Amino acid sequence: MKDMPKAYDPKEVEAPLYQMWMDKGYFKPRIDPDKTPFCIIMPPPNVTGELHLGHALTATMEDLLIRWHRMLGDPALWIPGVDHAGIATQNVVEREIAKEGVSRHDLGREKFVERVWQWVGHVRSRISVQHMRLGVSCDWDREVFTMDEGPQLAVRTTFKHLFDDGLIYRGERITNWCPRCTTALSDLEVDHQETAGSLWYVKYPLLDDEGNPTDEFIRVATTRPETIVGDTAVAVNPEDDRWKDLIGRTALLPVIERPIPIVGDEAVETEFGTGAVKVTPGHDPTDFEIGGRHDLPVIVAMDDEAKMNEQAGPYDGVDRFETRKLILADLEKLGLLEKKEDHTSSVGHCSRCDTIVEPIVSNQWFVKTGPLAKPAIEAVKDGRIEITPRRFEDVYMHWMENIRDWCISRQLWWGHRIPVWYCIADGCEEMFASIEDPDQCPNCGSGEIEQDPNVLDTWFSSALWPHSTLGWPEDSEDLRYWHPTSVLETGYDILFFWVARMIMSGLYNTGEVPFRHVYLHGLIRDEKGDKMTKSRGNVVDPLEIVDKFGTDAVRFTMATGGAPGNDFRLFDEKLEGGRNFANKVWNAARYFVQSASEQSVQLPDAATLSSAAGRSDWPLEDRWIVSRTLSVSREVNRLLGDFQANEAGRLLYDFFWSEYADWYVEMAKVRLKEGDTSPLPVLAYTLQTSLRLLHPIMPFVTEAIWQHLRDHIDGLEEALIVAAYPTGDGETDSDAEEQTELVMDVVRAIRNIRAERGVEPGRFIEAYVASKSAGPTLEGTRPLVEALARVRPLHLVPDTTSAPSDGVASAVLSEAQVVIPLAGLIDAEAEREKLSKQLAEDAGEIKRLEGKLANEQFRSKAPAEVIAKEQEKLAAAGSRADGLRARIAELG
RNA sequence: GGGCGAUUAGCUCAGUUGGUUAGAGCGCAGCGUUGACAUCGCUGAGGUCGUAGGUUCAAAUCCUACAUCGCCCACCA
């Protein structure tokens, strides 16, 4: 506790501090009816494996908000959770057992699901450890799994309500089918990829009225000849002069030799292909609709692995792509393949396994989304839910307004089983939904009932997350207090998958919005800007960079890496910046601890601190840093409230490093080196305020320092995690800020001359600083200028007449002039050149400003304060120019 | 086919209600180490804010086109 090592070592402090926070129960909020709760439900990571950087970003942003609110005194609840991730997890476990040479069918449903549960147990603990390493201050006792009893009940209750309300239905519809996962998918689970392919022109012979062959043909164009076997019509646009006379006639399907009608349908584009399209209602969404309009039969010609079935005649049992080759060859032989063109089209791939999706008609369950979408649209429109960045509201609206029914059944084994039972007793065909497992048919009383074998889309349970984690469907105290939750924070890539559906089901189940704010963060990419994916092999384990740079470095980099909602690239150089900052904070604190030595420093009293008048007799630099601390505190709160963590982080970085460490601490040293301990209270004040401000972003280094500081500063709370967050209440002091800026400018000007003239760094030099207006300020800070610029003696004079003019270097500020005798180092010509260059710049500036101020339009239309500002700038530039001219004249 | 985002210093990025001479980190150049920090300090170089118009007293910021890159949505076989 006594010694602070020279370099901040995250490994030393992180684990014990996290343990301490847990042991003290700081992550667990108390319900306080008099306070405004702040609640975030963590997006549950999939139990498919490890966390990735996206999760680290989520954890960082949410923990930042939670810690901020906790310090503000709000009851702050953060519920962690894990998602069973139906299809994804099933795939992962299938791959696992495949290593043992076993398929899920070998095991059977029950055994397989057992294996998945084993996997879940293993992965969950790994995920928790990763989260803890990131410093998340969530309430671990409330961790929820989507397959837990509570969420199970919520799922069944929701299903039952929707079912009874007629908002869930079952039907033979065309859906996206993954032949590898052998399940239906929702539209969102299909990735469309532009793929180069071919467009084949095929001739279908026409039959006459008696059904006899003719020598006429109708020519169709298709990208998928293998589906010819499922054709049940040819469609043409009824306006198309080339073809419209054929409507009502019959064509003969090649190879299969099935007569099919020619129908007229508006959906057919006359521009594309031949203007005639083969209609395959069983294997194409558009064709399914055309089929519906013309009452065409639906032929499904493939099995669930996309091999052709008995409907495909000669191709029975053959894979779909093999069939394509065979059928093309057959058409060629028959002389019916007219030509082939290159054609790129977008081909759907399974988002889980990348297999080409097959549209297939099958019996699936759907949520009727229209009635649910309406209130969800309203909630965003009327501002009950705000989405940040704002542009995503439009994206949300567009999707919602064009929403299509949601296919929720999956032919999987892992997931929430659909709570629907069928009576298989003779003569009874009852189908019913139930929350509890039923033991008999409510219609006929028979015990011969079977549950639907399918499971629900994973996102069905995720959609209930904000209320199901708080106890719904029970009317729990948690639900009443914490719901609606405050912020839903996640990546913009799951706006539709998750956010939109939570809003719909939240409103449906609870009548309330599930959350007030949606904050969507960007995606983390690698150094080249590529998305991190397993197949690219550029995935980074968060623990890897946490081990290398420390959690705070990772969090700082995540929080400040980019603007809200924008993607950003992550690489080591950025993380080094974060690590260096943590080290900087550590060392600045270390300096304070050393300076305070054995004594425990008393912070300035609150009343004095908060009033500028109360501070008026303090040294200028003390007044300055306190004023700056107040404005920075205010600004940080404002930015965090606007979800601009990036700007808040940058502001704190600049404030702490440039203003506190580089300037204030260096100024404080001037007194401290004389044995004057008067800066200690202000050092203590600024340091501990900075730590409070920084804690939500960098919890470990700040808490570690805090625990050291408690021995050196009086009255600090027992732990920073529960200390009060500074809000910047108190008067700032613009006079002190301006005067300090002047002092810093003078110091910089002298340093600049020294560097340019090659004066040895250690050497003290004589300098003249001339100023009428700033005389008293400079007099009051004489020791600072002397020490920081290494000047001795320092002559403070009203004007430069008393300064030497030969062999001097000079700098001209608007309020002061610096003259440094450096005989021997000065080239008069170079000096004149330098000053003239500056004068030219100032002259340009003056000209610009004068023009602007002379402009009648500007004077009449611009706000007074803008005009005043421009006048000030002009005065400053004028004053600089006068000074420069005088200096140049003195050079002779 | 619609929509969105990006385009600012060599690199990575900020710049959120239009108003300083456009900023930071890294990199680069020069100088510097007997106690906070070389994971550092000091000084400096470096940008006509993608292009072309427009609105305005005032544009990196608002509008319109265009270009390049990326993403999302969409049933053109």
Tell the residue number behind the tokens 């393949």, with chain if given.
A337
Q: Is the CB of A654 under 7 A from strand B?
A: yes
Between CA A583 and C1' B37 the distance (Å) reads 7
Q: Is the CB of A841 under 7 A from strand B?
A: yes
CB atoms within 10 A of CB A316: 15
Which A residues 791-820 have CB within 7 Å of strand B? none
- CA distances to A179, A612, A733 from A550, rounded to whole Å, are 44, 39, 37
Q: Taking every pair of C-alpha atoms in chain A, what is the biggest distance, in angstroms?
A: 121
Backbone angles phi, psi at A103, to 5 degrees: -105, 165
Instruction: Note the pLDDT tens digit of each residue in A441-480.
Output: 998 988 899 999 999 999 999 999 999 999 999 999 999 9
**Angle in degrees, CA A443, A449, A450, rounded to 5:** 135
Between CA A530 and C1' B68 the distance (Å) reads 18
Q: Which two tokens stand for residue A387?
A: 């989405």
Between CA A714 and C1' B16 the distance (Å) reads 40
Q: What is the DSSP letter of A603?
A: P
Residues A255 and A324: their CA atoms lie apart, in Å, by 13
Which pLDDT score, from 0 to 100, does residue A641 have?
95
For residue A577, what are the contacts with CB-CB under 8 A and spacing of at least 6?
Answer: A557
CB distance A731 to A612 below 8 Å: yes
Between CA A576 and C1' B25 the distance (Å) reads 10
Residues A838 and A832: their CA atoms lie apart, in Å, by 10
Here the ipTM equals 0.96
**Angle in degrees, CA A554, A559, A565, rounded to 5:** 130
Whose C1' is closest to the CA of A523: which nucleotide? B71
Which pLDDT score, from 0 to 100, does residue A684 have?
96
User: Residue closest to B18, CA→C1'?
Assistant: A862
Whose C1' is closest to the CA of A391: which nucleotide? B4
Residues A880 and A874: their CA atoms lie apart, in Å, by 10
DSSP A31-47: --TTS--EEEEPPPPBT
Residues A820 and A794: their CA atoms lie apart, in Å, by 10
Which pLDDT score, from 0 to 100, does residue A1 have?
43
Q: Is the CB of A192 under 7 A from strand B?
A: yes
Instruction: Tell me the sheet residues that pair with A388.
Output: A519
Between CA A650 and C1' B23 the distance (Å) reads 11
Between CA A503 and C1' B56 the distance (Å) reads 42
**Please, which positions of strand B sit below 7 A from a protein CB?**
3-6, 12-16, 19-21, 24-26, 30-32, 35-44, 56-58, 71-77
| CA distance from start to end of chain A | 64
Residues A725 and A692: their CA atoms lie apart, in Å, by 6
Whose C1' is closest to the CA of A271: which nucleotide? B76
Alpha helices, DSSP H, located in A354-500:
370-381, 391-401, 458-462, 465-468, 477-482
Which pLDDT score, from 0 to 100, does residue A385 have?
96
A149-164 and A501-510 helices, crossing angle to 10°: 80
Q: Is the CB of A273 under 7 A from strand B?
A: yes
Between CA A763 and C1' B24 the distance (Å) reads 32
- Amino acid letter for position A377: I
Instruction: Tell me the sheet residues that pair with A276.
Output: A236
CB distance A471 to A23 below 8 Å: no
Q: Which two tokens stand for residue A596?
A: 């305070």
Are β-strands A765-770 and A817-821 bridged in parallel, bridged antiparallel, or unpaired? Answer: antiparallel
Between CA A375 and C1' B55 the distance (Å) reads 39
Are β-strands A337-350 and A190-207 bridged in parallel, bridged antiparallel, or unpaired? Answer: antiparallel
DSSP A319-338: BHHHHHHHHHHHHHHHT-EE
Which pLDDT score, from 0 to 100, does residue A533 have?
79
- Amino acid letter for position A18: Y
Q: The dihedral of CA A713, A716, A720, A723: what is its sign?
A: negative
Which pLDDT score, from 0 to 100, does residue A2 have?
60
Mean pLDDT, consecutive 10-residue stretches, chain A (892 aa), reads 84 96 97 96 93 94 97 97 93 92 92 95 93 97 96 97 96 92 92 87 90 89 92 90 87 89 88 89 92 91 92 90 92 89 88 91 94 95 93 93 93 96 90 94 90 96 97 95 96 94 97 96 89 82 95 96 92 95 96 90 92 93 96 95 95 96 96 92 97 98 96 95 96 94 95 92 92 91 94 92 88 92 83 88 88 88 89 91 90 74
Between CA A94 and C1' B3 the distance (Å) reads 39
For residue A753, what are the contacts with CB-CB under 8 A and spacing of at least 6?
Answer: A759, A809, A810, A811, A818, A820, A822
CB distance A29 to A76 below 8 Å: yes
Tally DSSP H helices, then E strands, for chain A.
29, 29
